[in-house]
Amino acid sequence: MTPPDPRIRPATDDDWARIWPFFSTIVAAGETYAFPDDLTLETARGWWMSEPPSLTVVLEDDGQIVGSAKMGPNRPGRGDHVGTASFMVDPAASGRGVGRSLASYVVDWHREQGFRGIQFNAVVETNTAAVHLWQSCGFEIIGTVPGAFRSATHGEVGLHVMYLPLV
């Protein structure tokens, strides 16, 4: 286990307005996430900022928030021993390892919290940078729902379900 990246910390309410610019850019690009089409600064807040037992974190580098992740139980009740997570990295900061650092944080957090695994429900198959990052963390593709995402560039593409066992 690598030491935690000191640039990562829990998000505060005030951070949301600093996440929203790249969050909205990423959603509008239409390549990676199925969120409602008409989100605003205010209506998107509830889609990203989490309450316990879930957690939203930010990675702040040199005074700039350049990435964020949310994590927590994938299901309630009898499914709450498997976690899930979502990631947003400012495209202006791509290639600097922000996604990998957040991924490492998320895996460690789930392990510390006692989750038995982490499930990603919908990884866009053409988002190969993400797919390869998760595979390098040990995630495997459990299956792919064909054509379940309308990519702005690629049309209907599959959504991978990915899973990492932690015990």
Q: Which residues would be at the binding site for a second copy (CB under 8 A)?
A: 27, 30, 33-37, 74-82, 116-117, 119, 121-122, 141-152, 156, 159, 161, 163, 165
**Closest distance of CB 141 from a second copy, Å:** 8
**Closest distance of CB 74 from a second copy, Å:** 8
**Closest distance of CB 142 from a second copy, Å:** 4
Q: Where are the alpha helices (DSSP H) in the chain?
A: 16-29, 41-48, 98-113, 128-136
Nearer to a second copy, 49 or 161 (CB): 161
Rg (CA), the chain: 15
Which pairing describes strands 64-73 and 155-165: parallel, antiparallel, or unpaired?
Answer: unpaired
Nearer to a second copy, 21 or 79 (CB): 79
Distances (CA, A) of 2 to 87, 105, 107, 110, 155: 19, 9, 11, 14, 38
**Closest distance of CB 59 from a second copy, Å:** 25
- Residue 138 region by backbone torsions, left for phi larger than 0, else alpha for psi between -120 and 50, else beta: left
Nearer to a second copy, 9 or 154 (CB): 154
